[in-house]
């Protein structure tokens, strides 16, 4: 099997579960050394052990992406261990509370924006200089279908994910000539612990029915798109927003 990322080093935030975990496994299968970054140390280290069975190097970095210091340390750790950074997947995120804007708590707003938007800015701020040192790289920011449309009772999440697409476009414009590509992926509703934690079975069925394909997406399906954007197969794709949503946004 062709290894699309052989010899590359990647950081993946939120890699202890869901889309991040699936991406980490797929990257390892394609020859990349992977920094598994997450706030969940137990699950994150378990992913590292799984990746090592693929014959690649992997380390865990405990990171709260709402902390600029944590994110800076994550990049420094990567460079210290592997000598370079080629790929960054800014995937960590939270859903925030479910409430109307007039009832939405300031605490949940601040936390959701801090992790879902500021955390990606911190990632890019420290990842880009490291990539410039190595002559370029690929950054993939995990957006959402809610980067394009609203969703009642999720104002902070929707606002953060809309902002994330703008940040992605700016990064692409600013660093294209230096060999850095920045793209965003917009998953529909995916079978992840984040979703299952917040919705019961009946709600999950209702959400699945919103997608023309009639089901939720799977983490592996999104990971395949992340892999393509990380590889040279997508060498002329820059500043793009690519949905993986079972047709949700076509409606």
Token pair belonging to 215: 């089901």
Two tokens, residue 181: 């590509």
| Number of other residues whose CB lies within 10 A of the CB of residue 205 | 12
| Measured distance CA(122)–CA(177) in Å, rounded | 21
| CA pseudo-torsion sign 197, 109, 221, 137 | negative
Sign of the CA dihedral with 160 first, then 166, 168, and 170 last: negative
- Say which of 104, 122, 126, 157 is annotated catalytic: 157
126 catalytic? Reply is: no
Map residue 186 onto helix, strand or coil. Answer: strand
Q: What tokens does 16 get?
A: 């202890």
Catalytic positions, please? 157
């Amino acid at each position: 099997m062709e290894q699309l990322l052989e010899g590359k080093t990647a950081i993946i935030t939120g890699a202890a579960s869901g889309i991040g975990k699936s991406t980490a496994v797929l990257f390892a299968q394609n020859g990349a050394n992977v920094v598994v970054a997450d706030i969940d140390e137990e699950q994150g280290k378990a992913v590292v052990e799984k990746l090592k069975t693929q014959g690649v190097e992997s380390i865990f970095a405990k990171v709260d992406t709402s902390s600029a210091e944590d994110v800076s340390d994550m990049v420094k750790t990567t460079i210290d261990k592997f000598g370079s950074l080629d790929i960054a997947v800014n995937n960590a995120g939270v859903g925030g509370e479910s409430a109307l804007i007039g009832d939405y708590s300031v605490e949940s707003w601040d936390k959701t924006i801090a992790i879902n938007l500021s955390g990606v800015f911190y990632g890019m701020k420290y990842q880009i200089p490291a990539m410039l040192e190595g002559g370029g790289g690929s950054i993939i920011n995990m957006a959402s279908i809610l980067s394009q449309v609203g969703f009642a009772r999720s104002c902070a999440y929707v606002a953060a994910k809309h902002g994330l697409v703008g940040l992605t476009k700016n990064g692409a414009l600013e660093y294209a000539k230096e060999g850095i590509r920045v793209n965003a992926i917009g998953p529909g509703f995916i079978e992840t612990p984040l979703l299952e934690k917040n919705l019961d079975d009946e709600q999950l069925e209702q959400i699945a029915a919103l997608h023309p394909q009639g089901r939720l997406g799977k983490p592996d399906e999104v990971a395949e798109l992340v892999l393509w954007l990380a590889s040279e197969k997508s060498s002329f794709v820059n500043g793009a927003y690519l949905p993986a949503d079972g047709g949700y946004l076509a409606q």
